[in-house]
């Protein structure tokens, strides 16, 4: 009774109002807290995608003697993509590029892994001698780089990256929701029990995505000795396979493993996980770029590197989970991993032995299928800073394909012609011989 009286009094109404107000402040305050617990992109450390590409273009423009820049475009069902490829070749005017040791590196295949594209810029700055690595003798570096032809894709998934920059910090897929590291043809489309379409959508078919089509063409025409797909989310050095829990048999498997062990020792303080992607990461991945590079393009050393991960970050705090957020860690990661790539540049050719030239590989398994050849017409190439060698190479490739088609049809025609003659001329004497 006393309680009822109290509740109905003006004092109790005021108390209730204050209690409600307090509740409102707490709820509102919690919302703010939750919102601010997602780390935003640190714009003091990271370039925007536009600024990063402009910086790379300017770098290439300042070093035309060793760097070239190409943009390759492709389009499929109303969705278009373009990929920039930077080629490094010291003294490129003086020598033919065929005998060189070819390395293909791709960064930023997943939109949210911003740190990887920053690493691409750092490596290019060191290659053009605008930045330097400690403990690296310039003369021995020049000697190493003379042997190499390096192609780098600084930002494979620029459409996905733009979605991340617009605020969806957890997006890893391309501009229309396909995971570019599940869209390749080796074991494509197989789904594990924990399959999450938000993370791993493989697309409607292998190579349904323009980005993957472009990358396949770059890899097929360049025919690299080393491929590295650079990611973040953990610290690891992976080799094939991603789609099964084993590493390949044979010599190149040992060569890959020993190079990874050396890198782990020199640059990762043995922290990095090593082994097959499928066997080490805790899940199998189907339709990945590295499995395709190893199995189909026959790249003797095909890797996936994971250069940084914050395992303690909340799984919804994606920027923090995949990218360093403070200046010290940001620089440490870039220094350690750029040094790791220069170790690959040095050790890679030795590891494969002096007879690394893949030109001796029979050309039969390098024949471009009709499908791929026609597909080539969908790709638009534009050259920005002097690119005569490659245009010539592409032209020669087309001429070679025409020549093969011509040879094949000539052989068929000759065969048909001969079989008609033999029916017409040779048949009669045989019949008469039997009659005799």
Pairing state between β 101-107 and 148-153:
parallel
- Per the CB < 8 A criterion, the answer to whether 170 and 113 are in contact is no
Give the integer Cα–Cα distance in Å for 55 and 326. 22
Out of 94, 306, 380, 398, pick the active-site residue.
Answer: 306
* Least distance from Zn ion to the Cβ atom of residue 305, Å: 10
Smaller CB distance to Zn ion: residue 160 or 376?
Answer: 160
Q: Which stretch binds Zn ion (CB under 5 A): 31-39, 80-88, 223-231, 381-389?
A: 223-231
Q: Which stretch binds Zn ion (CB under 5 A): 124-132, 148-156, 229-237, 337-345?
A: 229-237
Smaller CB distance to Zn ion: residue 115 or 145?
Answer: 115
Smaller CB distance to Zn ion: residue 110 or 182?
Answer: 110
In sequence order, which ranges of 37-192 are alpha helices (DSSP H)?
Answer: 49-62, 114-127, 138-146, 158-165
Q: Which stretch binds Zn ion (CB under 5 A): 67-75, 102-110, 278-286, 408-416?
A: 102-110
* 182 binds Zn ion per the rule CB under 5 A: no
- Residues forming a β-bridge with 274: 237
Six token digits for residue 41: 């992109």
Q: Euclidean distance between the first and final Cα of the chain, in Å?
A: 135
- Residues in binding contact with Zn ion, number by CB under 5 A: 2
* Least distance from Zn ion to the Cβ atom of residue 26, Å: 38
Query: What are the C-alpha distances in Å from 249 to residues 44, 292, 305?
Result: 46, 16, 21
Smaller CB distance to Zn ion: residue 110 or 151?
Answer: 110
Residues 276/281/282/285 CA torsion (nearest 10 deg): -70
Q: Which stretch binds Zn ion (CB under 5 A): 87-95, 226-234, 374-382, 406-414?
A: 226-234
In sequence order, which ranges of 63-189 are alpha helices (DSSP H)?
Answer: 114-127, 138-146, 158-165
SS3 402: helix
Six token digits for residue 188: 């494509």
Smaller CB distance to Zn ion: residue 222 or 238?
Answer: 238
SS3 49: helix
* Least distance from Zn ion to the Cβ atom of residue 147, Å: 30
- Which residue in the set 90, 173, 231, 320 belongs to the binding site for Zn ion (CB under 5 A)? 231
* Least distance from Zn ion to the Cβ atom of residue 234, Å: 10
Which parts of 106-145 interact with Zn ion (CB under 5 A)? Answer: 110
Whether 235 is a known active-site residue: answer no
* Least distance from Zn ion to the Cβ atom of residue 356, Å: 29
Give the integer Cα–Cα distance in Å for 92 and 103. 15
233: left (phi over 0), alpha (psi -120 to 50) or beta: left
Length of the chain: 436
Smaller CB distance to Zn ion: residue 90 or 231?
Answer: 231
Which parts of 15-34 interact with Zn ion (CB under 5 A)? Answer: none
Smaller CB distance to Zn ion: residue 278 or 376?
Answer: 278
Q: Which stretch binds Zn ion (CB under 5 A): 66-74, 195-203, 228-236, 327-335?
A: 228-236
* Least distance from Zn ion to the Cβ atom of residue 178, Å: 14
Six token digits for residue 417: 């012609």
In degrees, to the nearest 5, what angle opens at C-alpha 131 toward C-alphas 65 and 97? Answer: 30
* Least distance from Zn ion to the Cβ atom of residue 281, Å: 11
Give the integer Cα–Cα distance in Å for 263 and 260. 5
Considering only CA atoms, which of 307, 301, 305 is closest in space to residue 336?
307
Catalytic residues: 306
Contacts with Zn ion, residue ranges (CB under 5 A): 110, 231
């Amino acid at each position: 009774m006393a309680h009822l009286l109290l509740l109905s009094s003006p004092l109790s109404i005021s108390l209730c109002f204050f209690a409600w107000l307090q509740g409102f402040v707490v709820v509102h305050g919690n919302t703010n807290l939750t919102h601010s617990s997602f780390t935003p992109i640190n714009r003091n450390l990271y370039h925007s995608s536009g600024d990063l590409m402009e910086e790379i273009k300017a770098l290439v423009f300042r070093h035309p003697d060793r760097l070239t820049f190409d943009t390759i475009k492709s389009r499929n069902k109303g969705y278009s993509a373009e990929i920039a490829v930077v080629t490094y070749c010291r003294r490129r005017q003086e020598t033919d590029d065929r005998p060189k040791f070819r390395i293909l590196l791709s960064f930023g295949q997943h939109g949210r892994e911003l740190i990887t594209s920053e690493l691409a810029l750092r490596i290019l700055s060191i290659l053009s001698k605008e930045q330097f690595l400690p403990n690296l003798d310039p003369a021995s570096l020049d000697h190493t780089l003379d042997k190499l032809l390096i192609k780098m894709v600084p930002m494979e998934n620029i459409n996905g990256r733009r979605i991340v920059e617009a605020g969806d910090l957890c997006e890893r897929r391309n501009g229309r929701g396909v995971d570019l590291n599940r869209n390749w043809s080796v074991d494509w489309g197989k789904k594990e029990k924990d399959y999450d379409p938000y993370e791993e959508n493989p697309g409607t078919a292998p190579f349904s995505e323009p980005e993957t089509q472009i990358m396949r063409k770059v890899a097929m025409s360049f025919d690299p000795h080393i491929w590295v797909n650079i990611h973040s989310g953990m610290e690891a050095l992976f080799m094939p396979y991603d789609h099964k829990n084993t590493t390949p048999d044979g010599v190149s498997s040992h060569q890959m493993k020993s190079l990874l062990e050396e890198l782990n020792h020199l640059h990762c303080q043995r922290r990095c996980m090593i082994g097959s992607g499928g066997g080490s990461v805790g899940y199998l991945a189907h339709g990945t770029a590295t499995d395709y590079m190893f199995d189909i393009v026959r790249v003797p050393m095909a890797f996936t590197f994971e250069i940084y991960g914050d395992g303690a970050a909340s799984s919804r705090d994606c920027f923090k989970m995949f990218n360093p957020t403070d200046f010290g860690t940001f620089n440490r990661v870039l220094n350690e991993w750029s040094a790791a790539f220069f170790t690959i540049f040095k050790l890679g050719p030795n590891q494969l032995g002096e007879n690394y030239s893949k030109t001796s590989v029979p050309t039969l398994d390098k024949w471009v299928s009709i499908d791929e050849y026609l597909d080539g017409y969908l790709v638009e190439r534009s050259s920005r800073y002097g690119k005569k060698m490659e245009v010539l190479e592409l032209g020669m490739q087309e001429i070679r394909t025409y020549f093969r088609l011509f040879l094949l049809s000539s052989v068929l025609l000759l065969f048909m012609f001969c079989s008609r003659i033999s029916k017409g001329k040779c048949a009669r004497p045989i019949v008469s011989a039997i009659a005799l």
